[in-house]
Amino acid sequence: MPLTLSTELLSLRTRHPFIIARGGQSDYRTLMVRITDEDGVEGWGEAAATRFYGETLETVQAVLPRYAQELGSDPQQLEAIEARMFAAVSGNAAARVAISSALHDLVAKRAGLSLCRYWGLDPAAAPRSTFTIGMDTPEMVRRKVLEAEQYPVLKIKLGGDHDLELLQTIRSATDRELRVDANCGWTASHAVAMLPVLAEFGVTLLEQPVAPTDLEGLARVHRAASIPVIADESCVTSRDIARLVGKVDGINIKLAKCGSLREALRMIAIARSHSMMVMVGCMIESSLGITAAAHFTPLVDVVDLDGAALLSQDPFVGATIEGGQVRLPDGPGLGVTRR
Ligand code: MG
């Protein structure tokens, strides 16, 4: 019997408007994907579409029936199903990863293992996660830093008009470790000029200072920097890694960019073969999407999986980052349950 696919709309709200260099909002809609096999076993995944990568909730809803035609009847055929979906419609990464996640959930459940253990990984090896402080007024930034008291590593969104003020505000409120994401908001010259400022404020990592296609700019910043420079928007899938070698210290993998859990593992392997650092990030998504990424965190160096922790209510219970430490559920599959 063929696998069946059904969906459910999820309405998510962040505790505060989540603002980065490209703008921001409080209300997000994602789609839960449920794949059911002939025995009624279900696998779950989440599609968190972002306009920046060419997807919306509507494009996800439009393309899923096409992908559903490629499922076949054997969920164990992960490689073949993903290849067929990619051949059918090669974009739509958030839609594809919801299916990839649901299939992995399903096969690991059938094996009676958490996905992490199904992959042969040690859940205790998962690193700490950062918690992001989005752009805001000084007063709100101070409040957010206080609210984020339990997280030992903070990530700050820069690349706007008030970078220095934001750094000063956060540093006056906490002595915790700070990492910076400029979300393509700087030119290479400005980024190089910002390096001593970042050093003064004790920033330990810089993510995507310049535009996605400005690889020479990334290389300039990387050469001048004494902290790791990580490519996020410049690194969407494994095919982007070769041209980044020597130009950055590492890459940031996000499932909604790369479209598949298997592709995420390929990206890790390729980055490691070039001695690059590996980071895993997320979109604003519920614990369902976050947990799919959390299962491969034992393989990475830097984790930024705060998407569900930023929500005021989360429809699912899964991986957590309480106290900053990534903790994986030990139930079979993703181990995600309804709240
Ligand atoms: Mg980023």
pLDDT at position 14: 95
pLDDT at position 311: 96
Cα–Cα dist 179/187, whole Å: 19
Closest CA to 207 of 184, 226, 188: 184
pLDDT at position 276: 98
Ligand 1 centroid to residue 51 C-alpha, Å? 15
Ligand 1 centroid to residue 269 C-alpha, Å? 20
pLDDT at position 218: 98
Ligand 1 centroid to residue 241 C-alpha, Å? 16
pLDDT at position 21: 84
Cα–Cα dist 49/31, whole Å: 9
Ligand 1 centroid to residue 212 C-alpha, Å? 11
Helix axes 261-273, 78-88, angle to 10 degrees: 100
pLDDT at position 184: 98
Element (H, E) at 301: none
Enumerate the β-bridge partners of residue 256.
Answer: none
Ligand 1 centroid to residue 20 C-alpha, Å? 9
Ligand 1 centroid to residue 232 C-alpha, Å? 5
Ligand 1 centroid to residue 13 C-alpha, Å? 20
pLDDT at position 24: 87
Ligand 1 centroid to residue 15 C-alpha, Å? 20
Ligand 1 centroid to residue 78 C-alpha, Å? 28
Ligand 1 centroid to residue 40 C-alpha, Å? 38
The token pair that represents 43 in the structure block: 């696998």
Return the beta strands (E) in 92-241 as ranges. Answer: 131-133, 153-157, 177-181, 203-207, 229-231
pLDDT at position 56: 97
Ligand 1 centroid to residue 249 C-alpha, Å? 14
Ligand 1 centroid to residue 213 C-alpha, Å? 15
Ligand 1 centroid to residue 201 C-alpha, Å? 20
pTM over 0.85: yes
- Side-chain-facing half-sphere of 260: CA atoms under 13 Å: 18
Cα–Cα dist 192/198, whole Å: 10
**Dihedrals phi, psi of 104, to nearest 5 degrees:** -65, -40
Ligand 1 centroid to residue 136 C-alpha, Å? 17
User: For residues 298 and 107, is the Cβ–Cβ distance under 8 A?
Assistant: no
Ligand 1 centroid to residue 251 C-alpha, Å? 10
Per-residue pLDDT of the chain (339 residues; tens, 9 = 90+): 899 999 999 999 999 999 988 888 999 999 999 999 999 999 999 999 999 999 999 999 999 999 999 999 999 999 999 999 999 999 999 999 999 999 999 999 999 999 999 999 999 999 999 999 999 999 999 999 999 999 999 999 999 999 999 999 999 999 999 999 999 999 999 999 999 999 999 999 999 999 999 999 999 999 999 999 999 999 999 999 999 999 999 999 999 999 999 999 999 999 999 999 999 999 999 999 999 999 999 999 999 999 999 999 999 999 999 999 999 999 999 999 999
Task: Count Cβ atoms below 10 Å from residue 184 Cβ, excluding itself.
Answer: 22
Ligand 1 centroid to residue 110 C-alpha, Å? 35
Ligand 1 centroid to residue 90 C-alpha, Å? 23
DSSP state of 16: E
pLDDT at position 22: 86
Cα–Cα dist 196/194, whole Å: 6
Ligand 1 centroid to residue 229 C-alpha, Å? 11
Ligand 1 centroid to residue 265 C-alpha, Å? 19
Residue type, 85: M
Ligand 1 centroid to residue 181 C-alpha, Å? 6
Ligand 1 centroid to residue 243 C-alpha, Å? 19
Return the beta strands (E) in the chain as ranges. Answer: 4-20, 23-36, 42-47, 131-133, 153-157, 177-181, 203-207, 229-231, 250-253, 277-280, 302-303, 316-317, 337-338
